[in-house]
Amino acid sequence: MQRHLIVSAIALFVSVAVGCGGKDTASTPAMPDAITTPPVVEMGTDPSEPPSEAAPAETTATAEQPAAEQPAAEQPAVEKPAEKPAAPAEPSAAASAGSSDSDPNWVTLRGRIVFDGPAPKQAPLAITKDKEFCSTKPPLSEQLVVNGKDGGLANVGVWLYLKRGAKAPTPHPSYAAKLKEPVVLDNLWCRFDPHVAFLTTGQTLDIGNKDKVGHNTKADFLNNSPFNEIIPAGGDITKTFSEPERTAVPVSCSIHPWMTGYIIVQGHPYGAVSDADGNFVIENLPVGEWTFQFWQEKSGYLSEVNMGGKNAKWKKGRVTLTIKSGDNNLGEIKVKPALFK
């Protein structure tokens, strides 16, 4: 009996042990379910292959690498600023070329001559020779040319006036190249173009004939040798002058007597002729006190003017100005119609 009880107890113990082992075996498959991660499934990899868990991580890292390498793609943009120092070199080159913009000792004088009244009409000229050609564009009188829109007075000569024997100022270096260029005075449509020309002693005057008819050019100089020469159609002649003239020198054509023009010759480059709007500009003047001559064909000189709202009398058309650093703008210089009667 006692042995039977012992055997029963042992059988019960083995049964419990086996039951516990069954539960452990059943719970073992559940562990992989708990370990399986959704990201691996979402990435579309096989959960049965553990290495694939690392594969998505590598793919993600590879996809992110270009983003990390974007600064390398931007390197060309980083290199561009390195090219910018080349831009400042341009102003330096301009400065080395002789620009006087930064030098306060060389300045500009400008102004505008205005006819203070109704603009007179230009009268037609009587054509007495080569009518068939010269009537193609009938020439008009240019003794007094006024812009009907703004009153600008054209063909006014303005230049630095020097007393006899006075030394002209040394020209600014920028004039060296300009003085090598010829001043052109053309016979064009049986008139002189331009009507008034300014040049410096030693500079070449190129007198051309663009017309289909012959001309002759006659200049009555006082300090230089006068001349009177035939210029055939399409031809030209050149002249240089060694001495400055006190005033504008008349030029004419003996073949076509209505043709007139003027040449202003000075011993320095500081002069200009007002344009169709009455504007004149003289560049790179040395600072200081200088006298300027204002000349016009019909009036002779601009002796009575209104400048800056004030009436003034300029004896023989001369005015002394103090030229300072910067832009010396005289503004409008108005002249009354009575001056041209």
pLDDT of the residue at 326: 85
Query: Is residue 90's pLDDT more than 60?
Result: no
What would the mean pLDDT of 54-63 be, rounded to a whole number?
A: 37
pLDDT-based confidence at 68, cuts 50/70/90?
A: very low
Q: Where are the beta strands (DSSP E) in the chain?
A: 106-115, 157-161, 183-187, 192-193, 196-200, 204-209, 215-219, 227-231, 236-240, 249-252, 260-266, 271-273, 279-286, 288-296, 300-301, 304-307, 310-313, 318-323, 327-335
What's the CA dihedral at 82, 85, 86, 88 to 10 degrees? Answer: 160
- The pLDDT score that the predictor gives to residue 101 is 55
Residue 127 has pLDDT above 80, yes or no: yes
Short-list 195, 264, 255, CA closest to 228:
255
* Average pLDDT score over residue span 82-111: 56
Task: Give the tens place of pLDDT for each residue, 250-304.
Answer: 999 999 999 999 999 999 999 999 999 999 999 999 999 999 999 999 999 999 9
Chain mean pLDDT for the chain = 79
Find the mean pLDDT for residues 104-127. 96
| DSSP annotation of 203 | P
Token code pair at residue 327:
């832009």
Element (H, E) at 239: strand 236-240
Cβ–Cβ < 8 Å for 53, 40: yes
- pLDDT value of position 256: 98
Q: Tell me what the mean pLDDT of segment 37-42 comes to.
A: 36
Indicate the pLDDT class of residue 53, thresholds 50, 70 and 90: very low
Mean pLDDT of 136-160: 97
Any bridge partners for residue 325, and if so which?
none
Residue with tokens 């009354």: 336
pLDDT at residue 312 is higher than 80:
yes
Per-residue model confidence as pLDDT tens digits over 188-234 = 999 999 999 999 999 999 999 999 999 999 999 999 999 999 999 99
